[in-house]
Structure 1
Amino acid sequence: MFKLPKRLLAGGLAVAATTGVLAALTGGSASADRHSAAPTVIGHRGASALRPEHTLGAYKVAIAQGADFIEPDVVATKDRALVARHDNWLADTTDVEDHPEFAARKKTKVIDGVTRTDWFTEDFTLAELRTLRTTERIPDLRPESAVFDGLEVIPTLEEVIKLARANDVGVYPETKHPTYFDGLGLSMEEPLVALLNKYGLNDSRDKVIVQSFETANLRDLSRKTKVRLVQLMSASGAPYDLEAAGDPRTYADLATPAGLKWIASYADGIGPATAMIFPVDATGKLGKPTSLVRDAHRNRLIVHAYTIRPENSQLPADFRQGNPQAANYPRATGDVYGWVTKLFEIGVDGLFCDDPSAAVAARTKFLTR
């Protein structure tokens, strides 16, 4: 008889009862369990294929499409407010360049070892940030979303939490660049936990999951809160906190059985890039699946993979419409249903999606076939 880890026992079977996990723990198959639990659909930055990312409008569309969770990436302001931005730089998702009063704020900084010249959230108070308006990050690929440029302000994490609670969906915040912000004296873990506690989100049964590409902040959070934690994993490179500490481990090392066992000591799941589950070749076609999903389930970890995007250029070549290489059809919507179904079939417990409606529809067909 298997034993669930303490973090799961604290919340009953809320975490484990997702597609594949219970089956993996009890020796069954993911497909045999799929009718007893629905995979989770996460609105990646909201419905970011349809509205400028990390706006209340994007989150509202994701909710209307049936997403189970909405995902705000979290960065800090000069006055320690937590706001929803994918990164702490601003030029690609706001109209900051159109504000002459902030021209002198443009700086060159090193973020996680990479030099960037831009405007940065930590140099603005929340009130100053709220004078900016949001814009589409990739307007050439998503011109329909760019129509909504200039209509919204940067939301605070608190506003996103309120929206999620008002609509009975989960919130899935990601702390961005935590080592960098720690170095500025703007640690995000304490205000994040305080905000979650304010809204009664402090248990593994609550509709909240906190994620990060770094490990130290998740290990810290595991001592500060009982909410579920997910270790994000890139298909290349290493967690920046490990690099900064001189630890040689990479994401590939963390994806091994030994690495997953270590992750299970402080987190409830992993969020791998889809390429860690289905590697792609030089032409973009899928190769043989890895054992990552199976190995994660054996370590009692849920698997929420990222990111499902609907455009041809963002899909594996196997699921593109028109030109197989997508060179002439970069914006055409490919076979998202086929791609999502393939991931569900291998036992993935949830997906981060730029257009949640596509995954919700695929899930409905998958569970009823």
Structure 2
Amino acid sequence: MSRVWMGRGPLWVSAVLALSVLQACGGSDGDDATAYKTLDGKAPLVIGHRGASGELPEHTLAAYERAIARGADYIEPDLVMTRDGVLIARHEPMLDDTTDVATRFDASRKTTKMVDGVSTTAFFASDFTLAEIKTLRARQSRSSRSAAYDGLYEIPTLAEVIALAQTEGAKVGRTVGIYPEIKHSTFHAGLFGTHVFEDKLLATLHPIYGNTGSAPVFIQSFEVANLQYLNTKTNIRLVQLVDADDVNADGSMSLVAPFAQPYDFVVAGDTRRFSDLLTASGLAFVKGYADAIGPWKPYLVKTVADGLDRNGDGAITLNDRRVDGSTGVIEAAHAAGLAVHTWTFRNDASGYGFSDPQAEMAYYMTLGVDGVFTDFPGTGVAARNGL
């Protein structure tokens, strides 16, 4: 996932949240499964987004270990492929922003490739062998976060992430799941062949977890055709991600390329947009191949810019948007038999209308989301424990 909300919202939301928690939970504690409005009635999942990436450089074993220590139920490795066909954990096929590749390799190793229709010149993981990737060290890509850990951690493979989840899960006495994302399936198919990426992923997962829907694994993608293919090859749970570009003043979603459509739709000439996947017919379509949807969180809670200075700071900004409750997507998805896992919650970049990141996650949880992706899993666990 890629969206970042930089706003911090008004304090009045805390009062609204307190009331909604009482209404949703009936005053019972979080151990009462009937308190949850999730699809299965169980507590919502806390998913360590790229690990505990708010604390340590993303997609490193250290960040994943920290997420588990903070209580994450699942850890999320975004996956790209090396030149020699190994799946590694990186948010994008480009290595420039999250590693020190530019200090270790000459600029002649940069290439220009089309990524979801955008011409991009960068150091691509697909141009480096795993041995070369292992010489790199991760660095913090967000200027607002500490760079103190830059240069300390190498880039892990999917197999290493799985081993960590199992080892650390055993240490803490609970199962820790993994939530891999197939990054840019069409891009990788153009380099390595159709569904080579997906086949490699299953060749790694099935021997360890089995070919079963009860495995502590979700596979996610912003594209559709690869999930449809996987649905014919595995019983592991699949998740359709749903993107957008921005939020309009009236609370509707802005859809601008390359965030308007699944890229395989673009290539196939399919005019459906991401938002179409969340209509009644769209959810029925998704249910035909997936077990859950992963919409960007503004799809789920409507906020409106109505010109009021709610936080009293003398300026009307996105922080002052009015929160109007559920858009109905959660309820419609549940009616279609789909779980809802939404993203991304950050302590240092809360969503519109929320001043407190824990309160923000708790609000979504009271509406019935089945899981939250967060850079700060400890905050997610605290939000769930407070319901």
Fold in common (TM above 0.5)? yes
The one-letter code of the counterpart of 1:161 is: I
Query: How far 1:48 sits from its partner (Å)?
Result: 0.5
Letter in 1 for 2:76: E
CA distance in 1, matches of 2:91, 2:36: 37
Partner of 1:155: 156
Task: From 37, 41, 45, give the equivalent of 1:40.
Answer: 45
Matched, 1:217 2:217: no
Q: Which amino acid aligns with 2:178?
A: V
> Given the alignment, which residue of 140, 144, 161 partners 1:141?
144
TM-score by length of 2: 0.79
2:166 paired with 1:165 = yes
Instruction: Tell me how far 1:129 sits from its aligned partner.
Output: 0.7
CA distance in 2, matches of 1:59, 1:78: 25
Residues 294-340 of structure 1: CA distance to partner in whole angstroms, max 9, x if unpaired? 110010000000000111xx2124222xxxxxxxxxxxxxx112101
Contact 1:136 1:149 in 2 (8 A): yes
Q: In the alignment, residue 225 of structure 1 is paired with which amino acid?
A: T
Matched residues in 2 for 1:171 and 1:291: separation? 28
* Residue aligning to 2:81: 76
Cα drift, residue 107 of structure 1: 1.7
Report if aligned partners of 1:30, 1:346 keep a CA contact under 8 Å in 2. Answer: no
Relative contact order (C-alpha < 8 Å, sep 6+): which is higher? Answer: 2
Moved more, 235-244 or 73-82: 235-244
Aligned-pair identity in percent equals: 46
Partner of residue 347 from structure 1, selected from 345, 368, 379 = 368
SS in 1 for 2:282: helix
Contact 2:36 2:42 (C-alpha < 8 Å) held by counterparts: no
Q: What corresponds to 2:110 in structure 1?
A: 106
1:318 matches 2:353: yes
For residue 232 of structure 1, give the secondary structure of its aligned residue in structure 2: strand
8 Å contact 1:280–1:316 — kept in the other structure? no
User: What CA distance in whole angstroms lies between the structure 1 residues aligned with 2:115 and 2:232?
Assistant: 27
Q: What secondary structure sits across from 1:94 in the alignment?
A: coil
What's the offset of the Cα at 1:31?
Answer: 4.8
- 1:30 Cα deviation after fit: 8.0
Quick one: structure 1 residues 194 and 59, their matched pair in 2 at CA, closer, same or farther if it must change by over 3 Å?
A: same
What does 1:94-243 align with in structure 2 at a 5 Å threshold?
94-100=99-105, 102-138=106-142, 140-143=143-146, 146-166=147-167, 167=169, 168-186=175-193, 187-235=196-244, 236=255, 237-243=260-266
* Residue 274 (str. 1) matches residue 297 (str. 2): yes
The answer as to whether partners of 1:31 and 1:347 remain within 8 angstroms in 2 is: no
Distance in 2 (alpha carbons) for counterparts of 1:220 and 1:273: 24
Task: Note the C-alpha offset of 1:280.
Answer: 3.6
1:299 and 2:336 are equivalent in the alignment? yes
- Distance (whole Å) between structure 2 residues aligned to residue 163 and residue 233 of structure 1: 29
Instruction: Name the residue aligned to 2:288.
Output: 265
- Provide the secondary structure at the position in 2 that maps to 1:224: coil
1:85 to 76, 80, 90: 90
- Compute the TM-score of the two structures, normalised by the length of structure 1: 0.83
For structure 2, the residue ranges without an aligned partner over 5 or more in a row are: 1-23, 25-32, 170-174, 245-254, 306-316
- Compare 181-190 and 261-270 and name the one that shifted more: 181-190
- Could you say what secondary structure the match of 2:88 adopts? strand
What SS does the corresponding residue of 2:209 show, helix, strand or coil? Answer: coil
Q: Distance in 2 between matches of 1:198 and 1:128?
A: 27
Structure 1 gap ranges (5+): 1-19, 21-28, 321-334
Per mean C-alpha deviation after superposition, the further-off stretch among 180-189 and 151-160 is: 180-189
State the alpha-carbon separation in 1 of the partners of residues 42 and 234 from structure 2. Answer: 26
1:255 is aligned, of 274, 278, 287, to: 278
Match of 1:10 in 2: none
CA–CA distance in 2 between the matches of 1:316 and 1:79?
40
Measure, in 2, the Cα distance between the counterparts of 1:30 and 1:104: 59
Aligned counterparts of 1:296 and 1:364: Cα–Cα separation in 2:
25
Runs (4+) off by over 6 Å: none
Rate the CA distance shift 1:131–1:88 in 2: closer, same or farther, 3 A: same
Paired residues in the alignment total 319
- Greater Cα shift, 40-49 or 91-100: 91-100
Structure 1 residue identity aligned to 2:357: V
Q: What SS is found at the alignment partner of 1:199?
A: helix
CA spacing shift, 1:262–1:30, aligned 2, 3 Å: farther
